Amino acid sequence: MDGTGGSRKRWCLQHFLLSVLLTTFRTAHAGDFALIADLNNGTIYAGSMGRSLVDLAPLPLSGIVRPVTVDFDPQERMIYWSDLRSQPSPKISRANLDGSNQMTIAENLRLPDGLALDVEARILYWTDGVLGHVGRASMNGTGNKEIIVENLDQPRTIVTDHSHGHIYWTDWGSSPRIERADLDGGNRTSVVDSDLHWPNGVTIDADYLYWCDAFLNKIERSDLSGQNRELVIDLNPYGDLHPYDLDVYRGDVYWTDWKVNTLIRVSLNGRGEGNFGPSTFQQPGGIHIEEEPDHCDSSPCDNGAPCEDVIGGFLCQCPPGLQGTTCSDATSCVLPPDPSDVLMVVSGQQAVYLPGDSVQYACPDGYQLSGSTTRICLSDLTWSGQQPTCSLTVVGCAPPTPDPSDVLMVVSGGQAVYHPGDSVQYACPDGYQLSGSATRICLSDFTWAGEAPVCQDELEPTPDVSGCTPPTPGPSDVLMVVSDQRAVYLPGDSVQYACPDGYQLSGSATRICRSDFTWAGEAPQCMEDDPATVSGCTPPTPDPSDVLMVVSDQRTVYQLGDSVQYACPDGYQLSGSATRRCRSDFTWTGQAPQCKKEDPISGKSTGAIPVAIIAGGSGGAVLFLVAVAIICVVAITVKRRRRRRFGGRVPISDIADRTCKEVFPKEYSTYVHYEKHIAEPLYSETLF
């Protein structure tokens, strides 16, 4: 691919990720939340859909290494997940959202890529891509675990349809397909078995089956029998993507992509595509979106405390003097607010009022106090007397309200009441500059004209911002902070860590600034990968013929889904598949191809070209070799001149060239090596 094509794809990918700015607003309940597993940093995140995942944070779960899929039980409010690298074997676990009651449900698995709950029947289903089966067990881990579907190739994700009594799963093996069976594993059938390559995530919404294909870069849907198939979105115009799992929520499809560090969404009509939420993930995997009722609809908070709908419930923001889940438990007397905004507490003002404490009230000039001038905090945590208020006694403008900056000065007036037409003059002390009008006039409706000016510091000193300082570097010199770096982090801000290639992150990838301006947890470390423990395919073994070439990028370790491309030099024909892919069990698909020599006349592959001795005896052999040497020199010289003349690639699979290579392999190799290193290029060759 030329540079122009690559630049266009990069531009398309950037445009795709930034197009969220152009999408329409979708409504969402504040309590609805998403759960996303990250395979690379051993984390399961939770965030509010109503807040566009701005509160996305890791769940406090322990011992997770490589979570791949996730689901949620709304009845017991527990999260379920599978871990591909848990010790001593991959397993499925569950826990409360706060991390409590964490327990193992199924263990001794091999590759539990898929997990789904039948909440009504209280049954857990999973797939195993190595053992090639679908298993099930009770959701609480008790009772027997049984295999209900066997002889699968490479099953991946799974979804349950309790209302119709079915389970669906994807299989990205040698015959990619989406299959269906009854809840007990019976009546197995293929529902989609064409135009698939790497079917990954699958989900159900409103009697539609949705899936994503990571090779074809498409999201499609059909009815539950696989008919009426429709394309939701073709991702190929947006560059190099790898969709993994998906869910449908309020008219949109949300999906994770191994090559994008945010969640992505698109409307069911294929429009309004864009990223969703913060750029947090390293390799996002399974996703589950849980819809919940608005827990604040019932007004659960007492004493007028504001209610906030949060993940899994509600939060009452208790004012001073109140506590408890609903702010119903008073610990002291709460001073009532002043409806007139001018009532003054002239004695006894304090943060907390205990029984026996008292306060005294007064009103400014021009106002009259109504109610009790003194009130006492009683043993039942209420106030004695009546709530006082201040009312105007003289018709006119009240004195201007004090300046919030505490430096603005009123240099004229100073009256208790201002009549219409009266004015006040403002000024600022040295070192400050007045911003706004220096004069305000009392109007006929007893309000002040304009806005009060403010005093701005001419030096504009840098404010003293309290927060967390940037975290100190980790013990290793290779640990990287990959999130936005700042001079000061406020409480709730976070930093994200990552390690370069060849290293593995040990510890939490996220640290959060706490309210005491310290960082939560310890800085993680970057540990060098042990080649024996790196999961992936090793480079393909060399070709016994020594001419087969790997023309794609060569790596130390190939990840799941990576591929290698083979080719043969001129004069040889490739026998076998030109592409091999790394499978989930870290072996290569198929067999390595071979390079077979072409027949110079027919172009078909053949064995080695025999060289006959055309003269008898040793003298005849010598004469033949001399003749062949002369032919080699002449043939190669002509070939080089033709390349210089035409400036392009000239076929070299002629009899003389191949004979030279057979008879004089060492000399021929030396010449080819020399020809490749001369300054003037003889020809150019591209793969695509």
Name the pLDDT band for 16 (thresholds 50, 70, 90). Answer: very low
The conformational region for residue 133 under phi > 0 = left, psi -120 to 50 = alpha, else beta, is: beta
Q: Which CATH class is domain 293-328?
A: mainly beta
pLDDT, tens digit (0-9, with 9 covering 90-100), for 250-309: 999 999 999 999 999 999 999 999 999 999 999 999 999 999 877 788 888 887 788 887
Residue intervals in the chain for CATH 2.120.10.30: 3-290
Q: What CATH class has 332-392?
A: mainly beta
CATH of region 549-606: 2.10.70.10
Tens digit of pLDDT for each residue in 228-252? 999 999 999 999 999 999 999 999 9
* The dihedral sign for the CA sequence 80, 84, 85, 88: positive
Q: To the nearest whole percent, how much of the chain has pLDDT over 70?
A: 78
Chain region(s) in the chain for CATH 2.10.25.10: 293-328
Using DSSP, how many helices (H) and how many strands (E) does the chain show? 4, 49
Q: What percent of the chain has pLDDT over 90?
A: 38
**Confidence label for 613 from pLDDT (cuts 50, 70 and 90):** very low
From 93-102, 296-305, 603-612, the region with the lowest mean pLDDT: 603-612
Task: Give residue 334's pLDDT.
Answer: 79
HSE, CB side, 13 Å, CA atoms: give it for residue 266: 21
Taking every pair of C-alpha atoms in the chain, what is the biggest distance, in angstroms? 138
pTM: 0.48
Rounded distance, CA 88 to CA 107, Å? 9
Alpha-carbon dihedral of residues 49, 55, 60, 66, nearest 10 degrees?
70
Radius of gyration (C-alpha) of the chain in whole angstroms: 38
Determine contact, residues 637/613, Cβ cutoff 8 Å. Answer: no
Return residue ranges of the chain for CATH 2.10.70.10.
332-392, 409-457, 549-606
CATH number for region 409-457: 2.10.70.10
Residue 3 backbone dihedrals phi, psi, to 5 degrees: -60, -35
Q: Please give the average per-residue pLDDT across 31-49, as a whole number.
A: 94
Q: Could you give the 3-state DSSP secondary structure of residue 669?
A: helix
Collapse the DSSP code of 658 into the 3-class scheme (helix H, G, I; strand E, B; otherwise coil) and give the result.
Answer: helix
Tokens standing for 535? 């999961």
Q: What is the mean pLDDT of residues 311-333?
A: 77
* Distance separating alpha carbons of residues 647 and 682, to the nearest angstrom: 7
Fold category of 3-290 in CATH: Neuraminidase (2.120.10)
What is the pLDDT, as a whole number, of residue 503?
A: 79
Residue 212 has pLDDT above 70, yes or no: yes
